[in-house]
Amino acid sequence: AVASAPQVLKENVKKEEAEEIKKKFEAAGAKVELK
């Protein structure tokens, strides 16, 4: 498992794109927070 401090993966993405990215990371076991 990889532990890291919160970091910005991508900025200024469309909400739909952000949701897709979020799903991929959560499927891999990451905790994702959209702002």
Residue 29 CB-half CA count within 13 A: 4
Give domain limits for the chain. 10-35
Q: Residue 27: phi, psi to the nearest 5? A: -65, -30
At residue 27, the pLDDT reads 92
At residue 12, the pLDDT reads 81
Longest dimension (CA), the chain: 29
pLDDT tens profile 6-32: 777 777 888 888 888 889 888 988 888
Please tell me whether the overall predicted TM-score, pTM, comes out greater than 0.75 for this model.
no
